[in-house]
Structure 1
Amino acid sequence: MATNPKPHHLLLLLLLSFSNLSLSSISPPSVGPPSVYELLPKFGLPSGLLPDSVKSYSLAEDGSFVVELQKNCYIQFDYLVYYEKKITGMLKYGSISNLRGIQVQRFFLWFDVDEIKVDLPPSDSIYFQVGFINKKLDVDQFKTVHSCSKKVLVPGGRLWNRGVEVLMFD
């Protein structure tokens, strides 16, 4: 003679079936390398040092890195900063040295930024080394990632495009 299953057995069987289904449908989160914007703070640097157009980057064990942007671009901070499509340097905690691919405009002249560093422990300042000049800037302007601009509007309503002035006519 067959016995009827008890209701609590059916409920247990149903719960086990659903828990197996839900556990099998959950996949572990993919763990890839951090974005360059997540990587910079791990080295004590603000994430907004680079524009939002980073296409890829590589970081070697010795700290040397290469960042590829989608295109050359400008960002206006306290000074106008120009980013080449390829940026290289040495990343260490609190600094980027041997920097190539970032320039700053001062008095209509462009200067290579050789090094970027912050105080340790962190303060409100960041330093751009341009030749033998060390320029202290407010770090807050580099805390958020900024969008790139292909051309930059300068006072007087003119566009400035890397050494070539383009006049806008109204």
Structure 2
Amino acid sequence: MASSSSSSSSSSLSSSFRSAVTALICICILSTEASMGEVEDVHDLLPLFNLPKGLLPMDIKSYSLSPSDGSFRVELSSHPCYVHFDANLVYYDKIITGKLGLGKVTEVSGIQAKKLFLWVSVTAIAVDGEMIEFRVGALSQKFPVEDFQDVPPCSAKALQLARASSI
């Protein structure tokens, strides 16, 4: 009889624990949605997801983010948009899409990096401590996160950027 009582109180305790965890998760999701709704500049939204502000260029016309699955759409006001990060040239399309998660962006489209003579599409981005990893299909390259803290301006011409960086 004692084991039956112990079993039911244990079951009741685990049920209460599950309810408390569920309530806590709901509160976290609602507070994140509320804080996202207050953010007007997408650059201020990125740190809420543990991503640096400088992942996207300055010239943002509009953005939308789905709180249910993290899918986003960013529209640039200038096109074309080339940005120089250290020794790397990056091209941003007029529309950038993907799925935003804590410390990562997946299913990326609209961002390309120039490697040698080829433009390759960035497919995912992930922050790992002090490094940020850019995935291009099965390949990836890491850079210091600090290189992406400042929001870069767009340039309409890739050649001007390449010449400026070689001076």
**TM-score, normalising length: structure 1:** 0.69
Report the equivalent of 2:104. 95
Matches within 5 A, 1:1-170: 32-61=38-67, 62-70=69-77, 71-77=79-85, 78-119=87-128, 123-152=129-158, 153=160, 157=163
5+ residue gaps, structure 1: 1-30, 159-170
CA positional deviation for 1:33: 3.2
- CA deviation string 1:98-137 (max 9, x = no partner): 0000000000100000000101xxx221000011111111
- Larger RCO, structure (CA 8 Å, separation 6 or more): 2
**CA-based RMSD:** 1.7
SS of the aligned residue for 2:151 comes to coil
1:78-102, CA deviations, whole angstroms, 9 ceiling, x for partnerless residues? 3100000000000000000000000
Give the letter for the 1:109 counterpart.
Answer: L
Give structure 2 stretches of 5+ with no counterpart. 1-36
Structure 2 contact 124–135 (Cα < 8 Å) conserved = yes
User: Is the alpha carbon distance of 1:149 and 1:42 closer, same or farther for their aligned partners in structure 2, counting shifts above 3 Å?
Assistant: same
User: How far does the alpha carbon of each residue in 1:42-101 deviate from its partner, in whole angstroms, 9 at most, with x for none?
Assistant: 000000000000010000021000000012300011310000000000000000000000
Higher helix share: 2
Structure 2: distance between partners of 1:113 and 1:125: 16
Q: Which has the larger radius of gyration?
A: 1
| Number of equivalent positions | 124
Query: Structure 2: how far apart are the matches of 1:154 and 1:102?
Result: 17
- SS of match in other structure, 1:45: coil
Q: How far does residue 139 in structure 1 lie from its aligned partner after superposition?
A: 1.2
